[in-house]
Amino acid sequence: MIIKNCRGYELEKEMPNTSEDFFNRSEVTIVSKKAEKTFYVLYVRYFEDVFRERNAFLFEGTGLCIKDVMALICIIQNEALLERKRLYINTEEEFLMYLQGIDLRAAIEWIPDINRNQTLKLSEVVQKLKTPIHKE
In this structure, are residues 52 and 92 in contact, taking their beta carbons and an 8 Å threshold? no
| Strand blocks (E) in the chain | 2-10, 23-32, 35-44, 86-89, 120-121
**Which residues span the domain enclosing 76?**
2-129
**Please, what is the average pLDDT of the chain?**
86
Q: What is the mean pLDDT of residues 53-66?
A: 80
Instruction: State the total domains in the chain.
Output: 1
Per the domain annotation, does 82 fall within a domain? yes
Per the domain annotation, does 135 fall within a domain? no
Q: What is the mean pLDDT of residues 19-46?
A: 90
What is the model's pLDDT at position 135?
A: 43
Q: What is the mean pLDDT of residues 97-114?
A: 86
- Our CA angle for 18, 21, 24, nearest 5°, is 125
Per the domain annotation, does 115 fall within a domain? yes
Is the predicted pLDDT of residue 114 greater than 70, yes or no?
A: yes
Per the domain annotation, does 29 fall within a domain? yes
- pTM for this entry: 0.86
Q: What is the mean pLDDT of residues 74-91?
A: 94
Per the domain annotation, does 134 fall within a domain? no
Per the domain annotation, does 16 fall within a domain? yes
Per the domain annotation, does 136 fall within a domain? no
Is the predicted pLDDT of residue 134 greater than 50, yes or no?
A: no
